Structure 1
Amino acid sequence: MSIPVAFEIAKQKPPNIERATRLRCRADCGHLRGKGAQWRGELPTRETLLPHKSTPCLLSLSGTPIPPMVVLILEKVPATLRGELSRWMIEPRTGVFVGQISAMVRDRLWELAVKGAKGGGITLLWSSPTEQGFQWRTFGDSKRLLIDFEGLTLVHIAQGPAEKRSQGAEAKQRQEQEALEAGD
């Protein structure tokens, strides 16, 4: 939100651009003050936060890049791997890690997770200026598969054992019925 505002304010050439931008952002979005404060005005939209598709990441008010949000989901992996990842990211739920880390750190943590997975499944998602706002990678065995369908990410849930058993029972009943009909 602050980038487009900063450009608008820069055209006006105020004596202190940073202060003018900060005040304008507070006026447009509201500013949180203390516990229980609420936003005033409209929340920023994705279009105002990422004005150009080529923007690799957001910039702070000082112009430094803000790393993208990263989510790493682990299934059936050793506890030692989870402990190693907890040094870099928070684990709000078992096997789900969240953080804001650079692309280099993200890639190195991915390599670490792949080496330590030992038959488990790994899904990595990170914010990116794409149509859906994120990109992803998967490794190993997982119940949920991410599938790219013409640029749109879809989730396919693999059949569980109970579903396979019920389908097997239905197939067996069909075979028995066909055998009875063939015998008549």
Structure 2
Amino acid sequence: MVVIVVAACPPGLRGELTRWLLEVSPGTFVGRLSKRVRERVWQRVVEGVGTGRATIVWRANNEQGLEFLTHGDTWKVSDFDGISLITRPNPQQTELRRKGVKLSDSDEGGLQQGWSMASRNRRR
């Protein structure tokens, strides 16, 4: 099973996706594709999405039972011990970066040593 979600994309791309998938809601396409077809359809989506955004999700034999890719979005896919997570940027930090302000590691949203209650209890 494959799910492709597109937003702010050209109408031609949506029409092209309906050749292989069903559009169950505006911008949401579902269907069954082989790996080869899925990869080629995703390549066409990346080429045709322009300034829009696209996400593809498919069934996989892993811990989560799925895999996904994104394109044209500020959200990034992060691998954490074999589990895929979505990292969303902090709008305030994005604005500071745009202005050229250098951020430290703790400002980047990274966890500082000893941030949890368990860590505090170990120090006692």
User: TM-score normalised by the shorter chain: which range applies?
Assistant: 0.5 to 0.7
Superimposed CA distance per residue, residues 104-124 of structure 1 (whole angstroms, 9 cap, x where no aligned partner): 111111111111011112211
> 2 CA distance for matches of 1:157 and 1:75?
17
Corresponding position of 2:37: 105
Provide the residue aligned with 1:116 in structure 2.
48
Instruction: Check if 1:96 corresponds to 2:28.
Output: yes
TM-score by length of 2: 0.66
Aligned length: 94
Correspondence 1:129 to 2:70: no
Q: Which residue of 1 aligns with 2:86?
A: 155
Alpha carbons of structure 1 residues 156 and 102: separation in structure 2 relative to 1, 3 Å: same
The CA deviation at 1:158 is 4.0
Identity of paired residues, percent?
38
Contact 1:119 1:141 in 2 (8 A): no
Q: Does the alignment pair 1:145 with 2:54?
A: no
Instruction: State the one-letter code of the partner of 1:71.
Output: V
Distance 2:46 2:52 in 1: 9
| Distance in 2 separating the partners of 1:159 and 1:95 | 26
User: Highest CA radius of gyration, 1 or 2?
Assistant: 1
Q: Which protein, 1 or 2, shows the higher relative CO under an 8 Å CA cutoff with sep ≥ 6?
A: 2
1:85 aligns with 2:47: no
Off by >2 Å, runs of 4+ in structure 1: 144-147, 155-160
Gaps of 5+ in 1: 1-68, 169-184
When the two chains are superposed, the root-mean-square deviation of aligned CA atoms in Å is 2.0
Unaligned runs of 5+ in 2: 97-124
